[in-house]
Structure 1
Amino acid sequence: MKHYFNTNIGRLRILAFLEGISLLLLVFIAVPIKYILLNPTLVKWVGQIHGILFILFIFNTLKVGVEERWSFKKTTWKVILACFIPFGTFYIDTKILAKVHKPSAH
């Protein structure tokens, strides 16, 4: 787990996981509770956390894209698009991020 914190791509993978979990919690738990049980409290809390993680994910994706010299047309936009789709960040982690993440030998 430590190797995720040593690289920008590793940190982006952690953010992708957290952002993906927050989106799932928001869409599949908080929003139904808001409309079925008429209780918006969970949407307020999860929504704020998701919003922060979403923004961090976007900025870090752009940062890693520039540092790794990703083609915006081939890679960066796919990674950004993933955070708009439930389960998208998990898919993109497997298909793109895990393949370019080369942990140090520490």
Structure 2
Amino acid sequence: MDNIETITTDELQEKLEAGEKLELVDVREDEEVAEGMIPGARHIRMGTIPENLDKFDKDTEYIFICRSGGRSHNVCLYLQDQGYKVRNMVGGMMNWSGETK
């Protein structure tokens, strides 16, 4: 069962521009996020997600971000198994045309 909800980079950008409060989590490595993250995203490296489960709330939906959408998809699979609400940003930061900080 691989039915992970997704969001496109354009959809995400529209929601952020409309002022929606979203929980964004960037799972890339430190040197990758140094090149720029979506404003408001939290950085939790993919490898440290299991030890950071206490930072997630099962009533909240989280949108996961990586470079191309592959790692974030795997994080979504893992967290969905644990009972969390997740959504994968397809295309990742390679596809992101919005602002970064």
Q: For the superposition of Structure 1 and Structure 2, which TM-score range results when normalised by the shorter chain?
A: under 0.3
Where is the strand percentage greater, Structure 1 or Structure 2?
2
TM-score normalized with structure 2 length: 0.27
TM-score normalized with structure 1 length: 0.27
Where is the helix percentage greater, Structure 1 or Structure 2?
1
